Structure 1
Amino acid sequence: MAIQQALGDALSENRFVADKLEDVARLLEQQDASPFRVRAYRNAASYLRDLAHPVRHDYERAGKRGLDDLPTIGQSIAATVAEILDTGASSLLERLRGTTDPEEVLQTVPMIGPELARRIHQELDIETLEALEVAAHDGRLATIKGIGPRRAESLRHSLSDMLARRRPRRVLQDRQQPSIADILFVDQSYRSNLDGLPMIKPRRFNPTGEARLPILHVERDGWQFTALFSNSPAAHRFGRNRDWVVIYFERADQPEGQVTVVTEHGGPLDGKRVIRGQEKACEAYYLEQVQEHLQAH
Structure 2
Amino acid sequence: MAIQTGIKTDPATTIVSQSLPAINLLIAGRLRDYADLLTQQGEDGFRARAFQRAAAMISALDRPVDQILAQEGREGLIALPAVGTGIASAIAEMVTTGRWSQMDRLRGDLAPEVLFRSIPGIGAKLADRLAKDGQIESLEELEQAVRFGKVAVRGIGPRRRRMIAAAIAERLGRPIFVSETAVARPPVAMLLQVDRMYRERAAAGQLRKIAPKRFNPTGDAWLPILHARHGDWHFTALFSNTQLAHQLGKTSDWVVIYYHKDGQLDGRCTVVTVTRGPSLGQRVVRGRESIEDEKEISDETRNRK
The interval holding the TM-score normalised by the smaller chain is 0.7 to 0.9
- Structure 2 distance, partners of 1:25, 1:10, is 24
Aligned: 1:182 with 2:190: yes
Q: Please name the residue that 1:3 is paired with.
A: none
Aligned: 1:206 with 2:182: no
Q: Please name the residue that 1:170 is paired with.
A: 178
Q: CA deviation at 1:14?
A: 0.8
User: Aligned to 1:219, what secondary structure does the other structure show?
Assistant: strand
Q: 1:292 to 1:27 in 2, by over 3 A?
A: closer
Q: Please name the residue that 1:271 is paired with.
A: 281
Q: CA deviation at 1:125?
A: 2.4
- Structure 1 distance, partners of 2:29, 2:146, is 33
Higher helix share: 1
Q: Is the 8 A contact 1:218 1:226 kept in 2?
A: yes
User: Aligned to 1:192, what secondary structure does the other structure show?
Assistant: helix
Deviations 1:163-205 (A, max 9, x none): 3x15975353422211111222211111111011111121112
- Structure 2 distance, partners of 1:293, 1:275, is 13
Name structure 1 gaps, 5 residues minimum. 1-6
Q: Is the 8 A contact 1:125 1:260 kept in 2?
A: no
Could you tell me which amino acid in structure 2 is paired with residue 190 of structure 1? Y
Q: Is the 8 A contact 2:120 2:167 kept in 1?
A: yes
Aligned: 1:161 with 2:166: no
Q: Is the 8 A contact 1:167 1:255 kept in 2?
A: no
Q: Is the 8 A contact 1:79 1:167 kept in 2?
A: no
Q: Please name the residue that 2:57 is paired with.
A: 47
Of 254-263 and 153-162, the range deviating more from structure 2: 153-162
Q: Please name the residue that 1:75 is paired with.
A: 85
Q: Is the 8 A contact 1:82 1:166 kept in 2?
A: no
Of 90-99 and 125-134, the range deviating more from structure 2: 125-134
User: Aligned to 2:276, what secondary structure does the other structure show?
Assistant: coil
Q: 1:168 to 1:62 in 2, by over 3 A?
A: same
User: Aligned to 2:275, what secondary structure does the other structure show?
Assistant: coil
Q: 1:272 to 1:25 in 2, by over 3 A?
A: same
Report 1:88-237 matches (<5 A): 88-123=98-133, 125-141=135-151, 143-147=152-156, 151-163=160-172, 165=173, 170-194=178-202, 195-237=205-247
Q: CA deviation at 1:24?
A: 0.3
Q: Is the 8 A contact 1:10 1:54 kept in 2?
A: yes
Q: Which residue among 84, 91, 98 is the counterpart of 2:94?
A: 84
Identity %: 40
Q: Is the 8 A contact 1:201 1:209 kept in 2?
A: yes
TM-score (norm 2): 0.83
Q: Is the 8 A contact 1:263 1:274 kept in 2?
A: yes
Q: Please name the residue that 2:259 is paired with.
A: 249
Aligned residues: 284
Q: Please name the residue that 1:18 is paired with.
A: 28
User: Aligned to 1:45, what secondary structure does the other structure show?
Assistant: helix
User: Aligned to 2:132, what secondary structure does the other structure show?
Assistant: helix
Q: 1:119 to 1:275 in 2, by over 3 A?
A: farther
Q: CA deviation at 1:293?
A: 9.6
Q: 1:293 to 1:49 in 2, by over 3 A?
A: closer
TM-score (norm 1): 0.85
Could you tell me which amino acid in structure 1 is paired with residue 213 of structure 2? R
Could you tell me which amino acid in structure 2 is paired with residue 170 of structure 1? V
RMSD (Å) for aligned C-alpha atoms? 2.6
Q: Please name the residue that 1:4 is paired with.
A: none
Q: 1:152 to 1:86 in 2, by over 3 A?
A: closer
Could you tell me which amino acid in structure 1 is paired with residue 170 of structure 2? D
Q: CA deviation at 1:31?
A: 0.7
- Structure 2 distance, partners of 1:113, 1:32, is 38
